[in-house]
Amino acid sequence: MFKSLKIGSSRSATVVLGVWQDSKRVPPSLSKWKTDVLELLSQKTFSGKRGQIVVSNKVLLVGLGKRGDLNNAGLQGIGGSLIKTLDQIGLHTIDLCLQATIPRGVASSQKIGESIIEGMNIANWRVDMFDGVATTTKRVLKTLTVGSPSKECVSGMKRGLIMSNAINDARRVAATPPNICNPPWMAKEAKKIAKSCGLKCKIITFAKAQELGLNGIVNVGMGSAEKPCMIILEHTPGGKKKSKEHLCLVGKTITYDTGGYSLKISNGMKGMKYDKNGGMAVLGAMEAIANLNVPTRVTAILPCAENMVSSNAYRPDDIIKMYNGVSVEVTNTDAEGRLVLADGLAWGCKHLKPTAIVDIATLTGGVVVALGSFCAGFWCNDTKLRKRVEKSAAHSGERVWQLPLWEDHRNYMRAKHADIHNSAPARGAHPIQGAAFLSFFVDEDIPWAHIDIAGVSSVERDRGLFCAGPTGWGVRLLTNLAESF
């Protein structure tokens, strides 16, 4: 593991070259390194399978796999294998020359640089903030410096570094445990990140939220000694290119979800520090959006609370008058995410009148049952926005799958003693109930999308580029989405 990744050139850097699987001869584009490549190709263990690596004095040869099979995800995987080998053999300066073998039609030099750096930086990260004296896997305190003779490749590398740093930042905060990361800590952390990349950050405090009637946030957060808040981050682009569009992102930021009085059962609570991962996706995306100077105006809202049990906590049977005037009968205090998101959405619609509003949340266990960890659940009330989100999803590799939201679903949420309840008496269509509930807090004329990431925002075991823990899912999707306006 390296301390960090840097882009820069060095004379003594090892050249990283690629060859396709089962290629016996040195491709003409690599003739400059012919002797080294020939020698490496002759090693019996090397077949050019994707991610396979052999090294000589000056050259590192990496297998690209079968021609026709290589895509962005494949390139990221190669980045992951690369950084692990570099760490093992103790190399810390390289020059990327994969573009000498990979035709433009497969991937541009820009894309190669971007994907390789992304893969390297994501694979290099782990939760090391809490390493104590007993930790044996110590970090090599070296920086990895990556250069390339191709200008386009370097420009792609810069983008990949910005994006993956934002992903890793989102993962770092997501992994911070609830005894440290509570709503006041989160507000401070958001301010720090905002300052580092030039975003504006405002906090609506608990007292202010009470005064404004943000009663979803107030009620969900009331049971904790650490009071809730609403964090607002603003990206206002400069320059001539800026678009008229205004995108609003809302991320569920529950720093811990015990379920409240509808307490989670034994094993169901473990891992609920990740119930803030919608907010973390938004936070990471805002960092990337600022550092990439995206020409769209973007405002982020993180309704932030800890769902706890105490004599001040809200309870089943409470009836809450929400920010937009809708009354809610609490039937289950564990359906808290939709209550805080409702405030974020209603506040965003009223004060920002955005071109589009997108919320992202670890909202339901039901979406994990329905879709597993292959993709996020997705709802959208507007064809244009739906296409935009689906395009960004395809582009980023963070997949979404649309589920229905009909008037029948909305009616299912109507309650006996208030306008709606936060959870219907029957368990059917749980993820859709969440979306249907939220729809009562979005102005009908504002394009709105809801993304349920309960299945994808963390992994229990190491998987691909990701170590066990938070994935930063959504940072790429939301950044690409902002760029699409």
Active site (catalytic) residues: 264, 338
Binds 332: which of ligand BES, Zn ion, none (CB < 5-8 Å by kind): ligand BES
Q: Is 162 or 254 the residue whose CB approaches ligand BES more closely?
A: 254
Q: How far is the CB of 257 from Zn ion (least distance, A)?
A: 4
How far is residue 319's CA from residue 172's CA, in Å, rounded to a whole number?
A: 36
Binds 114: which of Zn ion, ligand BES, none (CB < 5-8 Å by kind): none
User: How would you label 270-305 residue by residue, b for 16+ Cβ within 10 Å and e otherwise?
Assistant: eebbbbbbbbbbbbbbbbbbbbbebbbbbbbbbbbb
Q: Does 365 bind ligand BES (CB under 6 A)?
A: yes
Residues 6+ apart with CB under 8 A from 445: none
Q: Does 362 bind ligand BES (CB under 6 A)?
A: yes
Q: Is 78 or 454 the residue whose CB approaches ligand BES more closely?
A: 454
274 to 293: interface string for ligand BES, x by CB under 6 A: -x------------------
CB 421 within 8 Å of CB 329: yes
Q: Does 18 bind ligand BES (CB under 6 A)?
A: no
Q: Does 226 bind ligand BES (CB under 6 A)?
A: no
Q: Is 36 or 275 the residue whose CB approaches ligand BES more closely?
A: 275
Please report, as residue ranges, which positions from 303 to 342 form the binding site for ligand BES (by CB under 6 A): 332, 334-337
Q: Does 178 bind ligand BES (CB under 6 A)?
A: no
Residue 198 Rama label (left phi>0; alpha psi -120 to 50; beta):
left
Please report, as residue ranges, which positions from 256 to 275 form the binding site for ligand BES (by CB under 6 A): 257, 275
Q: Is 102 or 280 the residue whose CB approaches ligand BES more closely?
A: 280
Q: Does 398 bind ligand BES (CB under 6 A)?
A: no
How far is residue 377's CA from residue 405's CA, in Å, rounded to a whole number?
A: 12
Q: Does 423 bind ligand BES (CB under 6 A)?
A: yes
Backbone angles phi, psi at 97, to 5 degrees: -130, 30
Q: Does 237 bind ligand BES (CB under 6 A)?
A: no
Q: Does 470 bind ligand BES (CB under 6 A)?
A: no
The single-letter code of the amino acid at 170 is A
Binds 366: which of ligand BES, Zn ion, none (CB < 5-8 Å by kind): ligand BES
Q: Among residues 275, 287, 329, 452, which is the contact residue for Zn ion, using CB under 5 A? A: 275
CB 467 within 8 Å of CB 125: yes
Q: Is 101 or 262 the residue whose CB approaches ligand BES more closely?
A: 262
**Which two three-digit tokens encode residue 298?**
């973007």
Binds 287: which of ligand BES, Zn ion, none (CB < 5-8 Å by kind): none
Q: How far is the CB of 439 from ligand BES (least distance, A)?
A: 16
The window from 106-114, 132-140, 257-265, 323-331 that contacts Zn ion (CB under 5 A) reads: 257-265
Please report, as residue ranges, which positions from 366 to 385 form the binding site for ligand BES (by CB under 6 A): 366
Q: Does 337 bind Zn ion (CB under 5 A)?
A: yes
Q: How far is the CB of 307 from Zn ion (least distance, A)?
A: 6
The β-bridge relationship of strands 448-452 and 420-421 is: unpaired
Query: Site size for Zn ion, by CB under 5 A?
Result: 6
The window from 56-64, 181-189, 363-371, 411-419 that contacts ligand BES (CB under 6 A) reads: 363-371
Interface residues with Zn ion (CB under 5 A) are 254, 257, 275, 334, 336-337
Interface residues with ligand BES (CB under 6 A) are 257, 275, 332, 334-337, 362, 364-366, 423, 430, 454
